[in-house]
Amino acid sequence: MNEPARVHGRVLIVAGSDSGGGAGIQADIKAVTALGGFAATAVTALTAQNTEAVFGVVPVAPDFIAEQMRRVLWDIGADCIKLGMLHDVAVIETVAGILAREVSSIPVVADPVMVAKGGAALLVPAATDSLKRRIVPLAHVLTPNVPEAEALTGRAIHTSDDMIGAARTLLGLGARSVLMKGGHLGGETVRDFLVTAEAVTEIAHPRVHTRHTHGTGCTLASAVATGIAQGLAVEAAVRRAIAYVQVALATAPGFGRGHGPLNHGHTVRPFSG
């Protein structure tokens, strides 16, 4: 029997649950595991959803979110923290407080989740300012798509130059680096930009034509977080994460009538016993 793969890189995921398994905590756990890391979680909200829509959201009390985070951090620890759905101001303030006061040395990958693939709001509109003030400055890597970057910066984004300009605005709000994702813009080639104070790095890749894109952002951010937890530099973590998601999109299992899930497990060989 082959030796089991070594689990390397602890990622604490602070995000909402997706009952359909394609996004949120479920996608995060799959991505971290598929890339050889260890995933722990602090659930911020429960959602009733499938590939077609989000049908309901039940928030988790902020004090209990904090309790989940502390219990994991005090025992298991974390090499990177990934932030996803932070539903409202109270949750944002609670999570940001723990990160700033108690674990400021651990890098944070923040995916500013605002709207589900089907259009349902996952962030209370009044919480956008709190997200900008409290979460963006904590981000070692911030991973907005075009609509999220527009909401956070107030800038219209139509071109690659607009993407880079928005990323620089987000750097000005305190993020250490910004991965601006270009999938919402047209073209057969998707252009993502990793922007820091020192450099702009374009990462271009072919567009995968599929309706099975549910959870792409969650998956990518968790893949980046896993790489950082495993000691990769940010650019190397981003490049590996994009390559992982490209295959996950291309080999999506085809489940559901709407925006279906990715194939998170394409790196995993079936256990033969």
The catalytic site residues sit at 181, 213, 215-218
CA 23 – CA 30 distance, rounded (Å): 10
For strands 200-206 and 38-49, give the pairing. Answer: unpaired
**Helices 216-229 and 234-250: angle between axes, nearest 10 degrees:** 140
Cα dihedral sign for 18, 21, 22, 25? Answer: positive
Helix-then-strand count for the chain, H and E: 8, 9
- Closest by alpha carbon to 150, among 116, 177, 182? 182
Residue 49 CB contacts under 8 Å (≥ 6 apart), including other chains: 18, 19, 20, 55, 116, 118, 120
**In the Cβ-directed half-sphere of 130, how many Cα atoms lie within 13 Å?**
18
Task: For residue 208, report the phi and psi dihedrals to the nearest 5 degrees.
Answer: -95, 115
Query: What is the three-state SS of 51-106?
Result: CCCEEEEEECCHHHHHHHHHHHHHHCCCCEEEECCCCCHHHHHHHHHHHHHHCCCC
Q: Where are the alpha helices (DSSP H) in 3-43?
A: 24-34
CA 273 – CA 259 distance, rounded (Å): 34
- Closest by alpha carbon to 150, among 172, 124, 169? 169
Q: Where are the beta strands (DSSP E) in 139-256?
A: 141-142, 178-180, 189-195, 200-206
